[in-house]
Amino acid sequence: MKISKPFWIYTMIAIIGYVIVQVMISSGQLDMYYSNLFITMAINVMLAVSLHLVIGITGQFSIGHAGFLAVGAYISAICTMQLQLPFIVGLIVGAVVAAIAGLIVGIPTLRLRGDYLAIATLGFAEIIRIIFLNWDYVGGAAGMQVMQQTTWTYAFFGMLITIIVISNFTRSRHGRACIAIREDEIAADAMGINITYYKVLAFAIGSLFAGLAGGLFSHNFFIIQPAQFGFLKSFDILIYVVLGGLGSLSGAVIAAVALTIISLYLQDFPETRMIIYSLVLILVMLYRPVGLMGTKEITDLFKRKRKGGDVHE
Amino acid sequence: MNNPLLKVENVGIQFGGLKAVQGFDMELFEGELVGLIGPNGAGKTTSFNMLTGVYKPTEGQITFDGKVTNKMSPHQVTKSGVSRTFQNIRLFKELTVLDNVKVANHSLANHSLMSSVLRLPAHFKGEAKMEQQSIEFLKIFELDKYKDELAKNLPYGMQRRLEIARALAAGPKLLLLDEPAAGMNPQETRALMDLIALIRKKFDLTILLIEHDMGLVMGICERIYVLDHGQLIASGTPEEIRSNKKVIEAYLGEEVTI
Ligand SMILES: Nc1ncnc2c1ncn2[C@@H]1O[C@H](COP(=O)(O)OP(=O)(O)OP(=O)(O)O)[C@@H](O)[C@H]1O
Ligand SMILES: [Mg+2]
Residue nearest to atom 10 of ligand 1 (CA): B20
Helices and strands (H, E) in chain A, number of each type:
13, 2
Residue A266 confidence class, pLDDT cut points 50, 70, 90: confident
- Asked if B164 is an interface residue toward chain A (Cβ–Cβ < 8 A), one would say no
Which CATH number belongs to the domain containing residue A182 in this structure? 1.10.3470
Residue B44 CB–ligand 1 contact under 6 Å? yes
Burial A114-144 (b: 16+ CB within 10 A, else e): eeebeebbbebbbebbeebbeeeebbeeebb
Distance from C-alpha of B238 to C-alpha of A136, rounded to nearest angstrom: 79
Q: Rg for chain A (alpha carbons), in Å?
A: 19
In a domain, A292, yes or no: yes
pTM: 0.92
Residue B87 CB–ligand 1 contact under 6 Å? yes
pLDDT of B255 > 70? The answer is no
A-chain residues near B107 (CB < 8 A) = 192
Task: Say if residues B21 and B13 touch (Cβ distance below 8 Å).
Answer: yes
Range of the domain at A49: 5-305
Distance from C-alpha of A51 to C-alpha of A63, rounded to nearest angstrom: 9
Ligand 1 probe mutation, B37, B40, B46, most atoms within 8 A of CB? B46
How far is ligand 2, taken at its centre, from the CA of residue B43, in Å?
7
Determine the atom of ligand 1 nearest the C-alpha atom of B43. 18
Residue B56 CB–ligand 1 contact under 6 Å? no
User: Could you give the ipTM of this predicted complex?
Assistant: 0.93
The tens digit of pLDDT for each residue in B129-185 reads 999 999 999 999 999 999 999 999 999 999 999 999 999 999 999 999 999 998 888
Give me the CATH code for the B1-81+172-180+205-258 domain, please.
3.40.50.300
How far is ligand 1, taken at its centre, from the CA of residue B20, in Å?
7
Start and end residues for every CATH 3.40.50.300 domain found in chain B: 1-81+172-180+205-258
In a domain, A27, yes or no: yes
- Among B99, B113, B169, whose Cβ lies nearest the Cβ of A174? B113
> What is the percent of chain A with per-residue pLDDT over 90, rounded to a whole number?
64
Residue B15 CB–ligand 1 contact under 6 Å? yes
**Domain count within chain A:** 1
Concatenating the DSSP letter of every residue in B129-150 gives HHHHHHHHHHHHTT-GGGTTSB
Partner-chain contact B126 A173, CB within 8 Å: yes
The tens digit of pLDDT for each residue in A177-200 reads 999 999 999 999 999 999 999 999
Most confident of A104-118, B151-165, B181-195: B151-165
| Closest approach of B147 to chain A, Cα-based (Å) | 15
Residue B38 CB–ligand 1 contact under 6 Å? yes
φ, ψ dihedrals at B71, nearest 5°: -105, 0
